[in-house]
Chains A and B, each alone.
Chain A
Amino acid sequence: MQPVGLNVYLMIAGILFVCGVVCMATKRNAIGVLMGVELVLNGANLNFVAFARYTKLGLDGQVISLFVIVLAAAEAAIALAIALNFYNNHLTIDVDRADELHG
């Protein structure tokens, strides 16, 4: 079986990223938006790991991706807390209703 190259990884990462962005832009459900965020972050993670494997970046890429995972976890925790509070106040988690901070 022919080993896959860097470009395949980058392509999959790009697809993941676009999927995440589309998910964030289209979902009105806050949970869906969060899932989009996770997709974007994982796309980026894939890039780091791929570059770590195929370029001179080495272990640094893997370490950074670990950081990103931890960051994503923390971010998800905070975002879920915001979503919960938002739900308590508005009885919905529709992000289009969360426009009270407009200018």
Chain B
Amino acid sequence: MPPNPTQLGQTLGTLLTLAWLLPLFGFAVEIFGGFWGTRKSKAAAYLAVACIGGAFVLSLSALLIWGSETKWAAIKTGGHGGGHAEASADPAHHAAAATEHAEPATHAPETAAAHAFPKSFSGTIYVLAEFRTLRFAIDYYIDSLTLVMFTMVTLIASLIHLFAIGYMGDELTDDHEDHQVHTSHGHLHRPGRFYRFFAFLSLFSFSMLGLVLAGNVFMVFIFWELVGVCSYFLIGFYTERKSASTAANKAFIMNRVGDFGFLIGLMILLTYFGTFQFATRVEDGKTRAGLFDLLRDEHGAIKVSEQGSTVFLNAQDEPDPAAADATPTTKTIPYYLLLTAGLGVFAGCIGKSAQFPLQTWLPDAMEGPTPVSALVHSATMVAAGVYLTGRFYPMFVPEVLLTIAYIGCITLFLAATIAIVATDIKRVLAYSTISQLGYMMLGLGVGGWVAGLFHLITHAFFKSLMFLASGSVIYGCHHVQEMPQMGGLWKKMPITAFTMLVGVIAIAGLAVPGVIAFSGYHSKDAIVATALTFAQLNSTHFLLFYVPLVGAGITAFYMFRLWFYTFAGEPRDHHVYEHAHESPWVMTVPLIVLSVFAAFCASGFFYDLPGPLEKLLLASEPAGVAAGLSGDVSGLALPSHAAIHANHKMAGTYALLIAALGTVTAYLFYGARVFDPAEVKRQLSSLHTFLAEKWWFDEVYDVMFVRPAHIVARGCAAFDRVVFDGFLHFMARLGVLVSKWDRVFDEQIIDGFVNRLADVTFDTGRIFGFLQTGRLRQYVMFIAVGVVGIFILVVFFG
């Protein structure tokens, strides 16, 4: 078949739309599980697995179709997948009817095959509303990043759904006993909520896929909120537990803080750009430029005025038809507003991806069931912030990127240090997630677009793997989560221990040089190399290199600490150890599949060269990143691919050495137990407390925000009571008084008149009633006398 971009775009759009809507269908059916099934039925779970599995098949086939149509040009060349994307939607065809037209590619040295296809495909599924130029629509925007994300999300979600069938098995009952909720009658008993769990998982999958598929920022925002709501439902799944409902509230509210910034960013974009669309579309012969094309030219450059205060956009205002000699004027946006918009959107990403300073919600979110932690709070939803940062990359000016880099840098260090002292197995993983998300943000911020998103994908695999493994441990140990009670579990649960070890090695970034390297090595190396190059170009920002480098060591340390603590050595708590058991196959099979992906998803033919995955992502890289962007205003320089590649080997060696050091330290402390961690803890007790209390963030926020809010709320309550209630009470008394007078008036005047009238009528009737004697002869006499009387009157007086 000859390559046809239009057809390919339509095919991809249809496939991914179906993949996106399947879980929604699943949700719609499953949520009524209590209606059409019993609480002991697994039907909802099977339906959910079928839906998300179907979505995975569709996504994978979309990826394969895309690859075969483009002859895998992206992977072969390793360069840009194609020319500049120019896509459009024909409003006449609603369902996924889109037409793409490819502009001739602007990059000379690319192959002919790559020219034939645009970098991205976009189109409209449904137009919700249109107000002149303002348009709310369900658009799709598909490039290789979308395809990879779809495949990754659906694959991981399918495996986690499968895992959850086993893990949530104890909900398959009419009388579930929650051991963590105490009532006056002992433990809480409630009906099981198996089907509801899967309904929420399906809804979440739908929302997450919608977020990835979205073709405009408005749609991103909607699905952004939807995943937030799903996260809220799932964290608070054990809603009777006080800690769970509090954690759900915390997650939701802290995300609102970030979303506030997101909304501000959206408003600025709408005001100055007049559109929400990512991609340019042609409609009725008119080109409606998308955000990216408005801001940047085909080389990825921004046109800034000489003073650096104004940015010129690539579109012209429509000339006013009323004015005769109107000439089109170039649209502009003040530089500081573009900066604010970028920071605002990034603020949303901070909230969603649990970055400093909004990171505290994520560890608490571990109150949810473990499959939720694996799917929502490590692999996919929290990565949405990173995804959006990557998707929105062209809109960020260098100052915003620098902010992103520093936020990521602070986050990764902060979370890594806390992870060292955490003892709850899920919390260690939660802090590790925050730390890795920091890595991704840092990678994106220092100009490593591919590095950041590459790490997002690899992290999704190994972190979901480790969460599921921890879930398997928790399940096997009968809901014991504290690592000090574990130890030596590898004898009891070998599959879990082995797969967990794969994940640990992957996240630690360990490799045997020249032989084999797991996925984390590739992606973390890419980030460290980019950071190193960035630090070389901008020597004042050297911390952006050293912190992630040290962080790599800490990562290796705390991850191996977790593994040794849990699986190695002698059992610490024999009661837990005796009852521990390996999980059933529905839980171990996902572990094994995920461990394969965690190990090898990034691998190529040569151990230290990027594999197909990284090249796939490279095909979507925004224009200009490869050559290195330079900040026109602040003088920041972002590294180019060539410079990064030159540093790659050195950075990789550093990272590997540091990681190995961390691993060895962890082994000495927790594996071989040569050193006693308790001794170190005693000597550095103040530091340990500081870390164990999570840098006092919750306390600081409590003092800074919660208590002032309480004080203000109390003041408001007092104001309400005194002023508002006083006024209302006064008005009420006034009303009562007026009513009393009104009653007197009614009763005396109105009723008095009516009653008087009635009395008079009655009395009159009574008087005339005396005439009605009922005596017939008397009546006759009356008639006769009356006739005679009338006669006399007529005759004598007439």
Contacts and interface: CB of A to CB of B under 8 A. Distances in A.
Interface of A: 21, 24-28, 33, 36, 95-96, 98-103
Interface in B754-775: 768-775
Interface in B212-230: none
B772 A103 contact: yes
The 3 closest A-B pairs by CB, nearest first: A103-B769, A103-B772, A99-B774
B784 interface: yes
Interface of B: 768-777, 780-781, 783-784
Contacts of A101: 772, 774
Given A24-B777, A25-B777, A98-B776, A103 B784 contact: no
B775 A103 contact: no
Given A25-B780, A33-B777, 13 more contacts: A21-B783, A21-B784, A25-B777, A25-B784, A26-B777, A28-B777, A33-B780, A95-B775, A95-B777, A100-B774, A102-B772, A103-B771, A103-B772
A98 B774 contact: yes
Contacts of B768: 103
A102 B766 CA distance: 12
Contact of B773 (A25, A36, A102): A102
A95 to B, nearest CB: 4
A33 B769 CA distance: 24
Residue of A21, A36, A100, A103 with highest tally of chain B CB at under 10 A:
A103
Nearest to B775: A99
A96 B781 CA distance: 13
Given A103-B768, A103-B769, A103-B770, A96 B775 contact: yes
Contacts of A99: 773-775
Contacts of A33: 776-777, 780
Nearest to A26: B777
A66 to B, nearest CB: 24
A4 to B, nearest CB: 24
B784 to A, nearest CB: 5
A95 B779 CA distance: 11
A49 to B, nearest CB: 21
Contacts of A103: 768-774
Nearest to B784: A21
Contacts of B780: 21, 24-25, 33, 36
14 contacts: A21-B780, A21-B784, A24-B777, A25-B777, A25-B781, A27-B777, A95-B777, A96-B777, A98-B776, A99-B775, A102-B772, A103-B770, A103-B771, A103-B774
A33 B775 CA distance: 13
Contacts of B775: 95-96, 99, 102
A101 B776 CA distance: 11
A31 to B, nearest CB: 13
B58 to A, nearest CB: 96
B790 to A, nearest CB: 14
Contacts of A24: 777, 780
B668 to A, nearest CB: 123
Contacts of B772: 101-103
Contact of A95 (B770, B773, B776): B776
A21 B775 CA distance: 15
Nearest to B767: A103
Contacts of B777: 24-28, 33, 95-96
Residue of B772, B776, B777, B784 with highest tally of chain A CB at under 10 A:
B776
